[in-house]
Structure formats: C-alpha cells, structure tokens
Chain A
C-alpha cells in the first residue's frame, strides 16, 4: 500500500481496504527502519500522527469523503507547525517550537491529512543539494552516495522512498523541481502568490512559493486544490478563484503547442538527459501535440539576477534572527553588539552567512542601482521573454536539471552549485507555474522534465503532466532502497 499514490489510497480508504491508522503505522514503521540512513526527517511525530489518523478514520465513519482524508504526509521544516519544532534546517531555530500553524499546514489539516513529521532541507532553503542543513545531508534513495537535490531534499527523498505519500516543499529558485527530478518524483511550483506564504519561513519574499511533492501529477492537483487560495494574512497572495485542478486532468492534448527553448538544450546539458527529454517529447507528439523551438534570449542572465534579488531579500528577512525573541542565543554575551554578532555567526551556517553578506553588499549605500535595481530590470527582460513565447506556444518543456543526481561532497564551490538551477531559476523570477515529472532513467538514476505554464496556468500544466503519466510509467519506477518484497 505504501507505494501507492494519494488518489489510489483515497480509494482504498474509502472502500475500507485499509484504515488511516494502519496506513500511518506502516509509514511510521518504515521511517523507523530507513530514516537513519536517508536522514529525510528532522522530526517524526509518531503520537500526534496516530491521533490524527484515528480522527480521520472517525470522520470517515461519519461520511466525510474529502480526497485527502487520512492520507499521511510530511511537511518541509520551513512551515510552522503548532507545538512542533520548526528548524528551517538551521541551528538558529534548532529549539524553535512554532506557536501556530502556517496557512498551508492549517488548510491541509482541515482536509484531514495526517502529519508524519518535518523534513530535512538546506538551511533556510539556501542550497541545491541538501548539504547545507545543520542536521546533516539527506541521501538520495536511488543511490545513497548521491544528493537528493535541494532545498526540499528531505521531502523529495521521503516521497521517493515511501516514507510518506506526499510532502510539502518550497521553491525559490528550483527547490521543489530539482529535488523532484533527482529523486524521480513529481514536484509542482504554482504561480507566485497562488499559495499563501504565511507561516512559511521567509527566504526571498518576491520569489518564494510553496507547492507539493508527490507520486503523480494527479496527486499534485489534489494537494494544490487544498493549498491554493487567497489568504488575507499574506498580502502577496493573489485574489483569484481556485480552480478544481483535477477537473481538466483528462483533457486531450490534441493541438497543444509545446515550445522547446533552445537555451535549455545547449552546452552543459548531458547527453543522457537530453535523450530522455527527446523521447518524452515523442510521447507528446503521439498525443497530438506539436513541438517548436522557442527563444528565451535572456535566460543566461537569470542566475546572475537571481543571486542579487534572492540574497538581498534574504539579508533583510534574516535580520530578524537576533537572539532576543526566539531561537538560538550565544552563551555569555558581553554586551548587546556581541550578542547580535556571535548569535548570528554561531547560529547561521557558511552558505547562509555568505548570502547575507552578498545581499548586504548589494543593498549597501552606493551599490543599490548597480545591483538590486539592475537585477530587477533583468527580471523584467526575463519575464518579457516568457510573455512573448507564450504568444506562440501553450507550454514550455525542457529538462529540469542539466544532469541526474550528483555525488555528495563533490560541488564545494558556491558558484558551481548556483549554476545547478540554470533551467529553473528564470521561472521564479517570472513568477510562473512549473512542474517537474520523471521522464526517464539514465545509469540507474531518474531524470526530470520541466513543464512551464502561463501565469496561473496551473490547470494546464497539471493536465499536460498527467497525460504523460497516463502513457508512461516513469513516475511508477522505484529505487531499490527499502524494497521489502
């Protein structure tokens, strides 16, 4: 049962083939057995999960039939969860017990999900390999010498290894899509503002967006149905009705126009991944879609612009960690200045400090126009590229990452790591929705295909992803890790 999608489990629960308590217990048993090696969970909530599961079973008896009722999930440790430690992968918050639920957590609770625990992540979501976590790296279940991607690496590894049915994640520059690609699962980043950021610990406020990591596009639609929507507590959440994203999953792709950006099939893309994506595109042609090459001429500037915008916003957001109200405080400060400096130097890891410094520099007197303002102008050019392209095509498809999962400890230079997100970052700068789905296996490792849609084109890209998953079984492939047959 544990390998099934949420949609399938929903049926099994409704038919009485299994109870939520039994299902929850199977995942808890697997977590006990396998989490030590994967390190995908920072906190496991055994007791409260079983309470929630009992509650869900009770509700079902009283004919509650919400699709996610009783489905066990994990939350990325960036979401505040009332009464549960919420670390954001940092020493700074290692002892922080959130006094409230993030909007996303509350909405999923209302839908009757069972929270198994909180997943590991790059510290403050800054990283593409899950190696910057204060709680140690997560291992990729497909090859435990390799990274799961990041920053939502714990969520991706947990879904891939069947340590939960589905998980939440956040995506500022690729942090849902790239780990989904590396772990062979589905990862969906909705449009900026579609899902509330309230209670989601801030990294770069104009880019951050929450979304689901799942075993299928259908499950991503089910989760997005619950997660999306206006939240008055988040002034950047968008006041636009939420569609039923499952309603159009089965629409035909006949006549769909797919754009292939030439910049995503250029130097740096490995032959394995290119071959996988080309084969996936053939599937779309069989489904009646047409494929044309498109141009995103400013794509190569996206990483540069991102590494101004994101660190600048992060340096402002992370100024709140001062050792006064919550979180880590250094021992025996001699004065206030010493307390601030040592609390922050000891509480933050190397990568977080580096980004705070870059952001502080970019925003400091005399440099604002050359850096932050310039990056915002580049951001406009990148958005315009997409706007022009979407006049010609319905969706843009390419690889999620230039290669499959790399080995732990092999990318130690920050700039090399930043270039990991070369295909995903422009999407955040433009605020567009995008999904990564498994599209093949190369040398025993999954590879991901990215589908990008128009502003609020969630329903369309979920439909395009779902139709691919009806024709192929890449999303059903499992790592050998933890197989008990």
Chain B
C-alpha cells in the first residue's frame, strides 16, 4: 500500500511527531517501501491460524494488589525538566 503525504501527516499527528513540509514526501516514500516489505506476508492464507502474542503462549503473571514500593518522588523529580511543589510542570493547558 502506498502512503501519500496527507496520510503520513495524519499518522504523525497520532504519534505526536512533527514532520516538516520539506520532509513529508521523503518520509512517505520510505514508509511506502517498508509497507511493501511488510505486505509480503499478505501472500499467505492464515485464516485458520491462531495469532501468537507470546512465543511461549505464556499468560501474564498476576500478584496481590498491595503496596510494595517506597516513595521516591523527590529523587525521581530531580530528573524532570520542570517541577514545582512535587508536581510536574507543563505549558498552560487552560487559560
């Protein structure tokens, strides 16, 4: 399947990526090439095949829902670009 510029822009928006006008055609062409590689798998009938999500068909291990971790908020927030009073700061969302 060939992707055009407007489709690439739509996907980029979903992925929160900005693709410049100048790069959009190039990106669309590269992705079209990759989709051509991927489409090779369409050549084979898999109607009766069960999808495999895990190589060992293992199921997720669950645990009792109890607090096991200690609080590291201050330590972790030293890594953040901007914090205030224990909160992560981002540009203003509501005027």
Residues of A at the B interface (CB closer than 8 Å) are 96-97, 99, 191-193, 206, 232, 235-236, 238-239, 298, 300-301, 303-305, 307-308, 315, 319, 322-327, 329, 333-342, 344-345, 348, 353-354, 356-358, 360-362, 364, 370-371, 373-381, 383, 413-415, 418, 429-432, 455
Q: Is the CB of B33 within 8 A of A414?
A: yes
B37 to chain A, nearest CB (A): 5
B11 and A360 contact, CB distance less than 8 A: yes
Jot down 17 A-B pairs with beta carbons below 8 A, ordered by A.
Answer: A193-B56, A238-B56, A301-B41, A304-B41, A305-B41, A324-B81, A342-B18, A345-B18, A353-B17, A357-B11, A361-B3, A376-B51, A376-B52, A379-B52, A379-B55, A431-B54, A431-B55
Q: Which of A96, A358, A360 contacts B35 (CB 8 A)?
A: A358
B90 contacts partner chain A, Cβ-Cβ < 8 Å: yes
Q: Are A377 and B91 in contact (CB under 8 A)?
A: no
Tell whether A192 pairs with B56 under 8 Å between CB atoms, given A99-B76, A357-B12: yes
Q: Would you call B16 and A381 a contact (CB within 8 A)? A: no
Q: With contacts A304-B37, A327-B79, A377-B50 known, what are 4 further pairs, Cβ within 8 A?
A: A206-B53, A236-B54, A236-B58, A360-B11
- Contact yes or no, A334 B11, CB < 8 A: no
Which one of A235, A315, A431, A432 contacts B61 once the chains associate, using CB atoms below 8 Å?
A235
CA distance A315 to B55 in the complex (A): 20
Beta-carbon contact of B53 and A377 below 8 Å? no
Q: Are A333 and B91 in contact (CB under 8 A)?
A: yes
Closest to B33 in A: A415
Looking at B55, B61, B63, B72, which has the most chain A CB atoms within 10 Å of its CB? B55
B55 is contacted by which of A206, A305, A322, A340 (Cβ under 8 Å)? A206
Q: How far is the CB of B24 from chain A (nearest CB, A)?
A: 11
| Bound CA span A376–B49, Å | 9
A97: chain B residues within 8 A (beta carbon): 79
Q: Assess whether B75 is in contact with A377, with CB atoms less than 8 Å apart.
A: no
Contact A414 B34 (CB under 8 A): yes
Query: Top 3 closest A-B pairs, CB basis?
Result: A431-B55, A376-B51, A377-B46
B2-36 interface with A by 8 A CB criterion = 3, 8, 11-12, 14-19, 27, 30-31, 33-36
B61 and A336 within 8 A (CB): no
A422 CB to nearest B CB, Å: 12
User: With contacts defined as CB atoms under 8 Å apart, how many contacts are there between chain A and chain B in the complex?
Assistant: 161
A418 engages B37 (CB within 8 Å): yes
Of chain A, the residue at the smallest CB distance from B80 is A325
Given A235-B61, A329-B81, A377-B51, is A304 in contact with B39 using a C-beta cutoff of 8 Å?
yes
**Interfacial chain A residues near B53, Cβ < 8 Å:** 206, 376
Closest CB-CB distance, B45 to chain A, in whole Å?
A: 10
- Is the C-beta of B42 less than 8 angstroms from some C-beta in chain A? yes
What residues of A have a CB within 8 angstroms of the CB of B76 in the complex?
Answer: 99, 325-326
Question: Are B90's CB and A339's CB within 8 A?
Answer: yes
B67 proximal to A (CB < 8 A) = no
Does the CB pair B38–A96 fall under 8 Å? no
Report the nearest B residue to A340, measured CB to CB: B16
Given contacts A238-B56, A304-B39, are A357 and B8 in contact (CB under 8 A)? yes
Q: How far is the CA of A87 from the CA of B61 in the complex (A)?
A: 30
Closest to B54 in A: A206
| Interface pair A336/B79, CB less than 8 Å apart | no
By a CB distance below 8 angstroms, the chain A residues around B19 are 345
The residue that B17 contacts in the complex, of A324, A344, A413, with Cβ under 8 A, is A344
Tell me the count of chain B residues lying within 8 A, CB to CB, of chain A. Answer: 49
- Decide if A356 touches B91 in the complex (CB within 8 Å): no
CA distance A324 to B41 in the complex (A): 38
| Contact, CB under 8 Å: B37 / A415 | yes
Are B60 and A235 in contact, CB atoms less than 8 angstroms apart? yes
Q: Is B58 within 8 A of A193, CB to CB?
A: yes
Please tell me if B40 contacts chain A, counting CB pairs below 8 Å.
Answer: yes
Residues of B within 8 A of A381 (CB): 44, 46, 49
Given the contacts A325-B88, A326-B79, A375 and B55 also touching, CB distance less than 8 Å: no
| A414/B30 in contact, CB under 8 A | yes
Q: Which of A319, A342, A364, A418 contacts B11 (CB 8 A)?
A: A364
A360 touching B15 by the CB < 8 A rule? yes
Give, as a whole number of angstroms, the nearest-CB distance from A187 to chain B. 19
Determine the distance from Cα of A333 to Cα of B46 in the docked complex, in whole angstroms: 47
Q: B41, A335: Cβ atoms under 8 Å?
A: no
For B92, what are the chain A residues with a Cβ–Cβ distance below 8 Å?
A: 335
Give the interface centre of A319, A341, A383 by most chain B CB atoms within 10 Å.
A341
A336 touches B39 (CB 8 A): no
In the complex, A78 Cα to B36 Cα: how many Å?
31
Least distance between B19 CB and chain A CB atoms (Å): 8
In the complex, what's the smallest C-beta–C-beta distance from B52 to chain A, in angstroms? 4
Chain B residues, Cβ within 8 Å of A354: 27, 30-31, 34
Contact A304 B38 (CB under 8 A): yes
Q: CB < 8 Å: which of A235, A336, A374 contacts B41?
A: A374
Question: In the complex, what distance in Å separates the CA atom of A176 from the CA atom of B44?
Answer: 30
- Contact in complex: B56, A304 (CB < 8 Å): no
Contacting residues, chain A, for B33 (C-beta < 8 A): 413-415
Once the chains bind, are A96 and B79 in contact (CB under 8 Å)? yes
A456 to chain B, nearest CB (A): 9
Check A429/B55 contact, CB under 8 A, given A99-B76, A354-B30, A357-B31: yes
Residues of A within 8 A of B80 (CB): 324-326
